[in-house]
Structure 1
């Protein structure tokens, strides 16, 4: 080969190498640009309702450069959303023990609002006797209005948490709730007692809107439904705990002891919050998540965080008052949220009404009721307690199963509407339980029928509620507080109204007709709402997500 040909080949090889190197540089530049443009902190919020969970699907959709930087679960099978920062103070990086301790704290606190509101169930007949009035008047003046205020108190608590954090609002609300309980214990007349109960409900409800915040602060997406199951169990079981426990006390002592013991429990919760609770709000979107200097003393920092001094100093880096106040209005009108809230209001509302009604029907002498003694009524309330525990176990595994099936069927992507499959089972159980309960009261069936009906409906409420919380959280991942506040408001408004008409209706037309019409409403709302959301939910999210 001549020198000219060798030189020509060398030149060609150089050109080829230059092209290859340029292509590599272009790909590297594209990958780098892709990584820089990808929002690791907020992707799960901007893609609400559709999350890529499988690492291989993430590699296909995001590219190798982004996928290589995504943090995965310990077993490497799921992408973590939200993506934890490289900061040991990020709650997502806390140890499992530390996380579960905080979950326990908020669950213990979540028991207090409905536990205290339902104290009136155990003390209903003694209150009517002491103050010389009827059980219906006591129910309407005290229990119903305390249920009503449980919902509104949570709305205001969410506004404060936007500015000052979770821990101080939780701490001060429980201190005030404890004070109003003391007022209930020593109330000299019925009107004072009613005022104290209503004020207690308004402030005590804060843990019922804090739990969703805490769960999403601490746990990644794929574990949230399981942890929500534990927190929701706390406030669903609580209205049955007080009639069950305090009913035995009222049978042998003054009704004031029921409120005195509840005051002691509330004080214990305050101490647990003070000594064990931690602030889980983490400002991951700030360039520096810790913009204010911390005191050198750990004890001083903890005290300042607990009482709200740290939160007050951090408020300028968080949502404005305008944003905090109007955030709930900003999402309540979204069609997919409003529809599911309507369904939850009926499901939980009729359940709350039944809790207040059953004590009357159980205590009324035959033929109007079962004629149970105070001790017998207390024992009967063990049924829904067991039902909620069964619902927690079933929901824990069933929600995980639905999530995993959904991810596999959608090629590694989770779609929020798949959460609602559990409502199909929950609604069937709800109808079965309520009809059985109504028939048991009207036809004076055996205690076994009463237990089965009440128990099945309790399992149904647990399954439906967890599914709805998880679905709403998936659709609105930036608004956990608002979601909690609105679901809490929906369920309490539903329960507030039911107690006014349920007993007179059952006395006039029979419990079977009353409970039958109520489950017909629930079933009708289910058929109108849940399939519609599953069919049109993606389009609604795309058009109406904030």
Structure 2
């Protein structure tokens, strides 16, 4: 009898279900995308004996997934203070990749002057290609993490990122500078595939990071050499490495291995061996083989319950990346002719918008989740996450149309701020929703999901800078941003309603 048949029979004959028949530690993976949240519904579907073994939230109203073990070292059993401290470090680390890449936006004029070229050449040779390589570093990182754990891969990748950032800071030629920036992007991207389990806050750090550098360093580069901006970026990366070295813990817990392997060492020795990767080598025999680790991302990406939503994230976030890179060019050219201080100030707009989007998204997602659980007899279905995408697509379209009109018709700076701000709120809400949906559909492949979403959003965005400025120059910014908004809305209409209708059947057939 299959697992589904066992669960179906348990709803009518709870005494037929035995605890030994269901592995509660991996149950959420086998029933990916469908979580029994209400303890009363768990008794109906799983039977009294199984439901009595479930661990609940502190208030006893919700079933915890994944189920915590009895091991105090299980990350789910950590104290709130310990979790919060790890969260802070991960957020600070997740800022690194896109912030490093976006320093080039603030320094674009200084770099052009230093290397006797144009801002367009700097963008195409350094910014766009460093963004492109950021997309691929995560895939390789996930393969290593599946074998050796998250902490050592994160630590060594960030050590490499610091070294290459220092190389960019002191680069004597444009070719050396471009190589250092690209290598920084490739190695620095790893934090973007390690933080999916903390979702909203981590996603906010990921989305907000590209705007921090143009805002903060724009004022600096107006008054000092661009090398100071890269030097400060290197120091920030170094501080992150020190925090990882001193405090970050391994969150990869092999709960589905029977029996759960114990730590090979303890105390300070365990800490040192885990950080540098020795523990990961020892634990690799319990984890995925090299074949599984390498093929896992490709085994996930073709599944119909994810490929469409990846396309939606590609255009939603990708066009947003394009605005980050090209806005400095739009605003520095006539008729606006903003100086570096004014442009830096404008980049505060998306920072505020992302914070607003995080707050709206948090409460909106909680509301959607609670409503859907009540309507579905205490069960949460992954496709319900996508209701937030309706608001996201509408805001992104409104924002892009407003921004395009403001740039084409030379409206006030207030119109530019409103357009860009509304669009970024929509992008933040949609990105959180997409990440949550994909995580629910593939709870066993969080790293792969994060890597694929990073790949999608960056591949969708790195090339925008190549065509956005020439297109707007020839046909107007309103047409450019209007068509981009239409593409996002079209993909949304084709993908999201379909997944909401067919999501459950697709997961039943294609889940892994």
TM-score, normalized by length of structure 2? 0.96
Equivalent residue, structure 2, for 1:249: 220
Give 1:34-433 correspondences, 5 Å limit.
Answer: 34-212=18-196, 215=197, 227-291=198-262, 293-295=264-266, 298-366=267-335, 370-433=336-399
Contact 1:127 1:255 in 2 (8 A): yes
Cα offset, 1:264, TM superposition: 0.3
1:31 Cα shift? Answer: 4.1
Contact (CA 8 Å) 1:181, 1:196: kept in 2 or not?
yes
**Cα distance between partner residues in 2 of 1:342 and 1:426:** 15
Tell me how far apart the structure 2 counterparts of residues 259 and 102 of structure 1 sit (CA, whole Å): 27
Indicate if the aligned counterparts of 2:14 and 2:46 stay in contact, CA closer than 8 A.
Answer: no
Tell whether 2:490 aligns with 1:485: no
Task: Provide the C-alpha distance between the structure 2 equivalents of 1:243 and 1:443, rounded to a whole number of angstroms.
Answer: 25
In 2, the alpha carbon distance for the partners of 1:62 and 1:239 equals 46
Corresponding residue SS for 1:118 = helix
Q: Secondary structure at the match of 1:194?
A: helix
- d(CA) in 2 for partners of 1:164, 1:390: 37
2:17–2:47: 8 Å Cα contact kept in structure 1? no
Taking the aligned partners of 2:446 and 2:257, their CA distance within structure 1 comes to 19
Q: Distance in 2 between matches of 1:129 and 1:509?
A: 30
Question: The residue matched to 2:463 in structure 1 has which SS?
Answer: helix
Are 1:445 and 2:416 an aligned pair? no
Query: Per-residue deviation at 1:365?
Result: 2.5
> What root-mean-square deviation, in Å, do the aligned CA atoms of Structure 1 and Structure 2 show?
1.2
CA distance in 2, matches of 1:289, 1:64: 26
- Which residue number corresponds to residue 508 of structure 2? 542
Counterpart check, 1:523 vs 2:492:
no
Please name the residue that 1:3 is paired with.
none
Tell me if the contact between 2:90 and 2:202 (Cα under 8 Å) persists in the aligned partners: yes
Tell me, yes or no, if structure 1 residue 503 matches structure 2 residue 503: no
Q: What secondary structure is seen at the aligned counterpart in 1 of 2:35?
A: strand
Q: Which moved more, 1:431-440 or 1:125-134?
A: 125-134
The structure that has the greater radius of gyration is 1
| Alpha-carbon distance between aligned partners in 1 of 2:503 and 2:347, rounded to the nearest angstrom | 38
Give secondary structure in 1 for the equivalent of 2:253: coil
Whole-angstrom CA distance in 2 between matches of 1:444 and 1:132: 31
Q: Are the counterparts in 2 of residues 32 and 65 from structure 1 also a CA contact under 8 Å?
A: no
> How far did 1:410 drift?
0.2
CA distance in 2, matches of 1:392, 1:121: 24
Instruction: Tell me if the contact between 1:243 and 1:378 (Cα under 8 Å) persists in the aligned partners.
Output: yes
Task: For structure 1, list consecutive stretches of 5 or more residues without a partner in the other structure.
Answer: 1-28, 216-226
Shift of 1:286: 2.3
Aligned residues of 2:17 and 2:46 also touching (Cα < 8 A): no
Change in Cα spacing, 1:282 to 1:446, as seen in structure 2 (3 Å) is same
Please give the per-residue CA displacement for 1:267-292, whole angstroms capped at 9, x wherever unaligned. Answer: 00001111110001111122343345
SS in 2 for 1:51: strand
Question: How many angstroms does 1:30 deviate by?
Answer: 8.1
